[in-house]
């Protein structure tokens, strides 16, 4: 990891992102850019006044960030739609990682468009680290959620390429859901037969994830495999809590057109709910998508 972009809306939530970005910059001897975006849907004189105020506020944080990062961060203020400007800045500055805080949800608007964080993840090409917790040190307890898809492969490989997993043994988590179990219970099928069915589904899922792991170039000491029955979000939330994870890594599906702005996936639910930091890695969008 050589270059980070931290986006801030000047809230306490964003302070967590700035602190984590500075810590990562210091850990990896990386450069750090800090960006605030002023919404351009307001009169020009108000935009200019706000941009001046923001520049002054960012400068008050510069010394503390420099101490943690080991080098002075570059401060930037842009105007426009926040999610578009953040994504653009990430691309233009060749950032390896975008770091953001968990934004406050505006219920009615976000039902249709999602938060800024979600929109950056949905429409961008760069990994996004959502800082939910205080940055108290390097990550030590990491859970990687996988559904055996290309998105999961990219998420794990990206995290390893960034260096975040160096020296760590991660929990590789996979959820399986025996779809016929509920119907069998409803039909009063004998418990032993239900148990046999679940055991068979578990065995099938275990074989599938072992095949998946073989393609990842992982050494036995790199991971601990955890296979759990249940709906994916429930399994992820439970594992994060039980292991006191400080980082969860997930892959997100690359969507196109209007679908980029729609919510509802497991990744979306995770972003809204877990308390630990989340590294969300999008599938690279096809050119022109």
CB 160 within 8 A of CB 218: no
CA separation, residue 66 to residues 30, 157, 180 (Å): 12, 29, 56
How far is the first Cα of the chain from the last one, in angstroms, to the nearest whole number?
Answer: 27
Are 121 and 280 in contact by the 8 Å Cβ rule? The answer is yes
User: Would you mind telling me the total number of residues written for the chain in this entry?
Assistant: 289
Give me the phi and psi of 38, to 5 degrees please.
-90, 125
Domains of the chain: 1-135 (3.40.50.620), 139-289 (3.40.50.620)
| Mean of per-residue pLDDT scores for the chain | 87
Predicted pLDDT of residue 145:
93
Given a cut of 60, is residue 99 above it in pLDDT?
yes
Q: Give the confidence band of 25 by pLDDT, cuts at 50, 70, 90.
A: very high
DSSP-derived secondary structure for 119-135: HHHHH-SS-EEEE-S--
- C-alpha to C-alpha distance for 18 and 47, rounded to whole angstroms: 23
**Cα(258)–Cα(8) distance, integer angstroms:** 26
How far, in Å, CA of 220 to CA of 55, rounded? Answer: 49
- CB 106, CB 63: distance < 8 Å: no
pLDDT digits (tens, 9 = 90+) for 138-161: 999 999 999 888 888 999 999 999
Q: How confident is the model at residue 114 (pLDDT cuts 50, 70, 90)?
A: low
Q: What percent of the chain has pLDDT over 90?
A: 63
Tell me what pLDDT residue 243 has.
94
Q: What is the pLDDT confidence band of residue 284, given thresholds at 50, 70 and 90?
A: low
Question: In angstroms, rounded to a whole number, what is the distance separating the alpha carbons of residues 149 and 249?
Answer: 14
pLDDT at 116: 86
Answer positive or negative: Cα dihedral of 191, 194, 200, 201: negative
Work out the pLDDT band at 216, boundaries 50, 70, 90: confident
DSSP 258: G
pLDDT-based confidence at 262, cuts 50/70/90? very low
Give the torsion sign (CA, 266, 268, 271, 272): negative
pLDDT value at residue 96: 97
What integer pLDDT is reported at residue 288 of this predicted model? Answer: 38
CB 224 within 8 A of CB 253: no
Which band of pLDDT confidence, cut at 50, 70 and 90, is reported for residue 104? low
DSSP one-letter string for 192-242? HHHHHHHHHHHHHHHHHHHHHHHTTT--GGGEEEEEEES-HHHHHHHHHHH
Give 162's contacts (C-beta < 8 A, 6+ positions apart): 1, 96, 97, 127
Q: Please determine, for residue 287, whether its predicted confidence score (pLDDT) is greater than 80.
A: no
- pLDDT at position 42: 87
Element (H, E) at 4: strand 3-7
């Amino acid at each position: 990891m050589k270059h980070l972009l931290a986006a801030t809306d000047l809230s306490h939530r964003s302070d967590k992102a700035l602190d984590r970005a500075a810590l990562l910059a210091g850990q990896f001897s990386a450069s750090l850019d800090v960006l605030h975006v002023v919404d351009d849907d307001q009169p020009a004189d108000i935009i200019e006044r706000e941009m001046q105020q923001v520049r002054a506020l960012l400068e008050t944080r510069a010394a503390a960030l420099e101490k943690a990062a080991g080098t002075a961060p570059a401060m930037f203020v842009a105007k426009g739609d926040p999610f578009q400007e953040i994504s653009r800045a990430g691309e233009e500055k060749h950032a390896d990682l975008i770091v953001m805080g968990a934004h406050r949800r505006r219920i009615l608007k976000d039902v249709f468009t999602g938060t800024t964080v979600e929109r950056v993840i949905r429409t961008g090409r760069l990994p996004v680290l959502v800082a939910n917790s205080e940055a108290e040190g390097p990550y030590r307890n990491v859970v990687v959620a996988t559904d055996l898809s290309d998105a999961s492969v990219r998420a794990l490989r990206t995290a390893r390429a960034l260096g975040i997993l160096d020296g760590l043994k991660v929990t590789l988590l996979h959820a399986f859901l025996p779809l016929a179990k509920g119907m069998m219970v409803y039909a009063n099928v004998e418990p032993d037969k239900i148990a046999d069915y679940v055991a068979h589904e578990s065995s099938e899922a275990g074989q599938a994830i072992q095949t998946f792991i073989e393609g990842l170039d992982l050494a036995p000491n790199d991971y601990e495999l955890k296979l759990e029955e249940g709906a994916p979000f429930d399994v992820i939330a439970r594992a994060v809590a039980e292991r006191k994870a400080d980082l969860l890594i997930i892959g997100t599906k690359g969507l196109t057109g209007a679908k980029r702005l729609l919510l509802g996936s497991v990744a979306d639910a995770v972003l809204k709910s877990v308390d630990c930091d989340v590294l969300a890695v999008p599938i690279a969008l096809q050119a022109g998508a």
